[in-house]
Structure 1
Amino acid sequence: MTALLLPRIDQTHDAANASGALQPIRTEREVMQDGGIDFTVRWVSSLERKDSDRLSAALRRDPDFDPFLPPDPALTVGPLGDGHLAVLNKFPVIARHLLIVTRDFVSQTLPLDIADFTALAKVMSELGGLGFYNGGTEAGASQRHKHLQWIPEAARGAKLSMFTARLPNDLPLGSTTVRDDLPWRHCFVRIPTDVGCDAAEFGAALHAAFIRACGALDLACDRDPMPPYNLLTGGGWLVVIPRSREHCEKISVNALGFAGGLFVPRPELIDTVRAIGPLKLLTSVGFAR
């Protein structure tokens, strides 16, 4: 299916949008710089009441309800191997936001395995973009059913390249490094470039990088539940960030925060982000170095 993945995503998107199965949340955004990094802060426009209603619906979903067992057929793009499905996010803030879900229930707190990474690799080897994972509630996970996520590369918004631009590109594959000016605990691992890779080989490389990063951070990845963490990958890098809590001053942070993408439910919280500073905010939900 992956050779036709992008057209299938767009076909599913257009049909689900027309039927109302897809309920995108339109946002306004502001860019604020901190430490030489551009952070994009999004919020729901106060002019769009239906988008506020959609956000409220997304936030108040029954925690015991599993939207992926089975996923809505109108949002299902198709299989990614035997154990995973590609499903559109019902309430996307970013267009083409894809969820990579296990067909059967698996806890979001279980370690990611090679099958999970191979499913993600099937997407990224064709489309590039940004893959990410919220490992547990404290890391921003909103569902208990295991799911990785993917968004396309965008000119503005969350981009891992803003954080990897100062890393040494001549590191051998599998090498670990940190960015000295980032104040939270993290570990980057050099991986193959995604687009054009064999999906099985790329999935194995992602899995090996995950194990290596967890080892460097003393993050146990052989138990359930794993300690909470975020993972992001794209552009030849994978990074893992241990998490201490989900919120800072009523602002929930998921993996996209560590790619420069923050979301606040109310516009007045933009001033809170500005007052704290994005770097300090992210450090407060991770662990200071």
Structure 2
Amino acid sequence: MGGTWLDAIDERSAAALASGALQPVQAEQTEMEDGGMRFIVRWVSSLAVKDAAKVAIPGGPRDPNFNPFLNPDPALTVGPVGDAHVVILNKFPLCERHLVLARRTFEEQLQPLEYSDFAALATIMVEAGGIGLYNGGAAAGASQRHKHVQWMPEAEGNASLRLFAGGLPLGLPEQGVATHPALPMKHVFVRVLSGRDVPVEAAADSLLAGYRNACDELGLVPGEDGLLPPCNLLVGEGWLLMLPRSQECFEGISISAVCFGGTLYTRQPEQIEAIRRVGPLRALAAVGC
């Protein structure tokens, strides 16, 4: 790939928007404070378009086994990253430059992450920072079975682990573990190398080691169907956060990894009030363990 990843992402995004292959973000948002932290709740009307697209197609509902990542739409494909992954624009993005880093061959989303998954993510993050995300199965908010991680850039209103900085210990060495006093669900933070100007190999090694440490701390074990229980993973700001999950939804609102970075997304405007009623932290805790 010539140029930078951001150049390639922006070039492909502009063409995909012009052709209609990429659905533009349409969102309204409100802010809420909980536990001394600032949360953003966004009503993304384009998510309702995504739901409608699943059924409103010629010939009736789409085959439930359809896999958009196995042979991705060329209009949304940015290019290969590493030997095992391809970078794809999220057709229904939650923000600008929202990426899917999907494995080129099929593997179940519940299967444990591997070095190549973290190397693909590190390749983007070393250049562009931002946050890496993983939804380990349907109960953790994954909408596709084909294994993939996601990336979002650092921008005002986007998810970030910076939200938790005030409650985490300073000076913790790499691979040190911590919990946050404001999070009422089972979780663990691991100090890792991530972000700009870290060699890709060093970042990938650190992320894989942090992931395995987090699995040990939380008692997550590979089962016949993959890693159990399902979990979310977030990476950014020198931290890896993992949380086991008990269910996908809070009052009909799908909760995925991005929500644990301080930005919650709803499909209907009235769902914002459901979160306001209990507060973001209790809404997140309801789907945790």
1:252 pairs with 244, 251, 254, which one? 254
Question: For structure 1, which runs of at least 5 residues remain unmatched after alignment?
Answer: 46-50
Could you tell me which amino acid in structure 1 is paired with residue 69 of structure 2? F
Q: Partners in 2 of 1:251 and 1:3 — Cα distance?
A: 39
Length, aligned pairs only:
282
Which 4+ residue blocks in structure 1 deviate beyond 4 angstroms?
58-62
Q: What is the Cα deviation at residue 53 of structure 1?
A: 5.7
Q: What is the Cα deviation at residue 177 of structure 1?
A: 0.7
Question: For structure 2, which runs of at least 5 residues remain unmatched after alignment?
Answer: 56-61
Q: Partners in 2 of 1:81 and 1:168 — Cα distance?
A: 34
Contact residue 108 and residue 144 of structure 1 kept, 8 A: yes
Match of 1:16 in 2: 16
- Which whole-Å deviations, capped at 9, do the CAs of 1:137-175 have from their partners, x for residues lacking one? 000000000010000011223221102332123011111
Structure 1 residues 53 and 255: alpha-carbon distance in aligned structure 2, compared to 1, 3 A threshold: closer
Task: Tell me if 1:31 matches 2:31.
Answer: yes
The correspondence of residues 160-175 of structure 1 with structure 2, limited to 5 A, is 160-175=161-176
Q: Partners in 1 of 2:47 and 2:133 — Cα distance?
A: 25
TM-score (norm 1): 0.93
Q: Partners in 2 of 1:209 and 1:3 — Cα distance?
A: 31
- Which whole-Å deviations, capped at 9, do the CAs of 1:151-210 have from their partners, x for residues lacking one? 001122322110233212301111111112211110000012421111122111100000
Q: Partners in 1 of 2:219 and 2:52 — Cα distance?
A: 38
Structure 1 residues 73 and 229: alpha-carbon distance in aligned structure 2, compared to 1, 3 A threshold: same
Contact residue 179 and residue 188 of structure 2 kept, 8 A: yes
Q: Partners in 2 of 1:62 and 1:77 — Cα distance?
A: 25
Could you tell me which amino acid in structure 2 is paired with residue 178 of structure 1? T
Could you tell me which amino acid in structure 2 is paired with residue 272 of structure 1? A
Q: Partners in 2 of 1:140 and 1:150 — Cα distance?
A: 15
The correspondence of residues 267-286 of structure 1 with structure 2, limited to 5 A, is 267-286=269-288
Match of 1:66 in 2: 67
Identity %: 48
Match of 1:128 in 2: 129
Match of 2:52 in 1: 57
Match of 2:193 in 1: 192
2:239 pairs with 229, 237, 240, which one? 237
Q: Partners in 2 of 1:63 and 1:132 — Cα distance?
A: 24
Could you tell me which amino acid in structure 2 is paired with residue 41 of structure 1? V
TM-score (norm 2): 0.93
Contact residue 76 and residue 88 of structure 2 kept, 8 A: yes
Structure 1 residues 3 and 233: alpha-carbon distance in aligned structure 2, compared to 1, 3 A threshold: farther
The correspondence of residues 200-215 of structure 1 with structure 2, limited to 5 A, is 200-215=201-216
Classify the secondary structure of the residue corresponding to 1:214: helix
Structure 1 residues 2 and 109: alpha-carbon distance in aligned structure 2, compared to 1, 3 A threshold: farther
After superposition, the CA RMSD in angstroms is: 1.6
Structure 1 residues 3 and 229: alpha-carbon distance in aligned structure 2, compared to 1, 3 A threshold: farther
Match of 1:263 in 2: 265
Contact residue 97 and residue 151 of structure 1 kept, 8 A: yes
Classify the secondary structure of the residue corresponding to 1:55: helix
Match of 1:48 in 2: none
Contact residue 44 and residue 94 of structure 2 kept, 8 A: no
